[in-house]
């Protein structure tokens, strides 16, 4: 029985390293975990993204997926999911922030979870499409989002 959760695919000396590429998206990126191995739900490759429940999103958060808040900066500043990056889809620099992910060498198979306010909010879907067009393909949307009343973390 192997002790390594990465089943031999990861460099054990790097497990738990934080701060890789810390300056590419502002102060929140300093908390960006080094992604080594994330068990994501299976997704049909023909889909740009897959909607998931908050429970699945929580599991992905615990395994190190990169969470991206698609809401406006002001909403992000009032509260967001712990360690989430901010790429507000309606602000002028959204494309630049996505390009910064690529420039820092984030791999196309990295697991991303985009979220917005949940319910009828379409911002996460728009962000997911932009990420897919940039070349990323393991994109999930937390359909429950970050609604008012959810615990505010990462402030």
pLDDT in tens, 120-148: 889 999 999 999 999 999 999 999 988 65
What CATH architecture does domain 52-142 belong to?
Answer: 3-Layer(aba) Sandwich (3.40)
Average pLDDT score, the chain: 77
Query: What would the mean pLDDT of 1-16 be, rounded to a whole number?
Result: 34
| DSSP assignment of 65-118 | PEEEE-S-HHHHHH-BSTT-EE--TTSTTHHHHHHHHHHTT--TT-EEEEE-SS
- What is the model's pLDDT at position 1? 35
141 contacts: CB under 8 Å, gap ≥ 6: 49, 50, 51, 52, 113, 114, 115, 124, 125, 128
Going by the DSSP 8-state scheme, the letter that residue 141 receives in this structure is E
Distances in Å between the alpha carbon of 83 and those of 9, 113, 137, 138, 155? 25, 12, 21, 19, 9
**Is residue 49 a contact partner of residue 141, using CB atoms and an 8 Å limit?**
yes
* pTM score of the predicted model: 0.72
* pLDDT of residue 113 exceeding 80: yes
Q: How many CA atoms lie within 13 A of 41 on its CB side?
A: 19
Domain residue spans of the chain: 52-142
What pLDDT, on the 0 to 100 scale, is given for residue 73? 94
Average pLDDT over residues 6-24: 33
The two three-digit tokens of residue 152, written as one number: 């505010």
β-pairing, 138-142 with 50-52?
Answer: parallel
CA distance readout (Å), 141 to 4, 65, 117: 29, 12, 11
Instruction: Give the best-scoring range by mean pLDDT among 2-16, 41-55, 100-114.
Output: 100-114
- pLDDT band at residue 150, thresholds of 50, 70 and 90? low
Q: What are phi and psi of 90, to 5 degrees?
A: -95, 0
């Amino acid at each position: 029985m192997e002790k390594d959760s990465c089943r031999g695919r990861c460099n054990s000396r790097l497990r738990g390293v934080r701060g890789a590429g810390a300056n590419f998206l502002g102060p929140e990126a300093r908390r960006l975990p080094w992604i080594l191995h994330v068990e994501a739900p299976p997704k049909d490759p023909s889909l740009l993204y897959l909607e998931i429940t908050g429970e699945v999103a929580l599991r992905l958060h615990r395994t190190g997926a990169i969470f991206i808040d698609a809401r406006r900066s002001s909403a992000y500043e009032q509260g967001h999911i712990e360690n989430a990056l901010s790429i507000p889809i309606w602000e002028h620099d959204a494309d630049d922030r996505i390009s910064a992910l690529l420039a820092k060498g984030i791999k196309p198979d990295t697991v991303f979870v985009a979220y917005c306010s949940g319910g009828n909010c379409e911002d996460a879907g728009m962000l997911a499409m932009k990420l897919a067009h940039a070349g990323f393909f393991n994109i999930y949307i937390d359909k429950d989002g970050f609604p008012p009343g959810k615990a505010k973390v990462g402030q």
